[in-house]
Amino acid sequence: MAIRSIRTMGDEVLTKECKPVKEMTEHTAELIEDMFETMYEANGVGLAAPQVGIRKQIVVIDVDDGNQYVLINPEIVETEGSQTGSEGCLSVPGKTGVVTRPEKVKVKALNEKMEEFELEGEGLLARAICHECDHLKGQLYVSLVEGKLEDVMMEEVEE
The binding site for Fe cation comprises 89, 131, 135
Distance CA 85, CA 73 (A): 26
Task: Decide if 146 is catalytic.
Answer: no
Sequence ranges of the binding site:
89, 131, 135
The closest of 63, 39, 40 to 49, measured between CA atoms, is 39
Phi then psi for residue 103, to 5 deg, are -75, -35
- Dump strand ranges (E) for 49-115: 58-61, 69-80, 83-88, 95-101, 104-110
Catalytic-labelled residue, pool 12, 80, 132, 146: 132
CB contact at 8 A, 112 and 24? yes
Catalytic (active-site) positions:
132
